[in-house]
Amino acid sequence: MNKELRSAVIAGNWKMNCGPAAAKALIEDLKPLCVNAECDVIVCVPFVDLHVALEATKGSNIKVGAQNCHWAESGAFTAEISAGMLKELGVEYVILGHSERRQYFGETDVTVNQRLRAALNAGLKPILCVGEVLEQREQGVTEEIVRMQTKIALQGVSEEEMKNIIIAYEPVWAIGTGKTATAEQADEVCGQIRKVLAELYSEAVAQATTIQYGGSMKPSNAKELLGKEHVDGGLIGGAALKAADFFGIIDAAK
């Protein structure tokens, strides 16, 4: 991390876990732990928890995010949520392009771009996820895949709008598997993403953009990962569901 150039951000992706009661309890456990956090802290909760999370985090330094949004402002899209609805509710962040959305729900690089555009138009701050599957890693095309995903997702995004975007590198083979990219692998790919941003925009934009690592980050490996130059935080899955574990990663961001 280089906090002089960009914000360090630890975001929890709760996925499909915790109903409203459990969400409130977890946030109440987190609040006193995060009072002196030296990084930005975000909890990205299921849609049904958003109202409870927004109420529970009032007056704290914990921000609230959603886990997806649709590209349309409104319409016949049963079970979907628009970016404008999230903004009206008070949500600040939204995860877009997560590998589980790509794998199970047909997300493509193009639809991720459409959702990103909608989120920015509504005034939300996207956490854009990119990353390769195991086969692509073994084929040696990680850089090509990540470059492509990043470039397509950011089509039509201005240099000014990049100030509101966080990018999360999540090697798909390390999500929920217990496997973790080495600190060197994580730093290398985050650095490649930063290089793409410099090509698309400028070196200043590249250096100012927060790039997280997501993929089985936990208290035991967070310090090593966060100690790398290009790793500016984490998008945390399983470890975000236990206050002590999530705080252990936040504390490592010192």
- Catalytic residue numbers, as ranges: 98, 170
Alpha-carbon gap, residue 205 to 3, rounded angstroms: 15
Burial 116-146 (b: 16+ CB within 10 A, else e): bbbbbebebbbbbbbbbbeebbeeeebeebb
CA distances in angstroms from 8 to 2, 171, 201, 240, listed in the order given: 8, 20, 21, 16
Alpha-carbon gap, residue 161 to 155, rounded angstroms: 12
Backbone angles phi, psi at 127, to 5 degrees: -105, 100
- SS3 assignment, position 12: strand
- SS3 assignment, position 18: coil
Phi-psi region of 113 (alpha: psi -120 to 50; beta: other; left: phi over 0): alpha
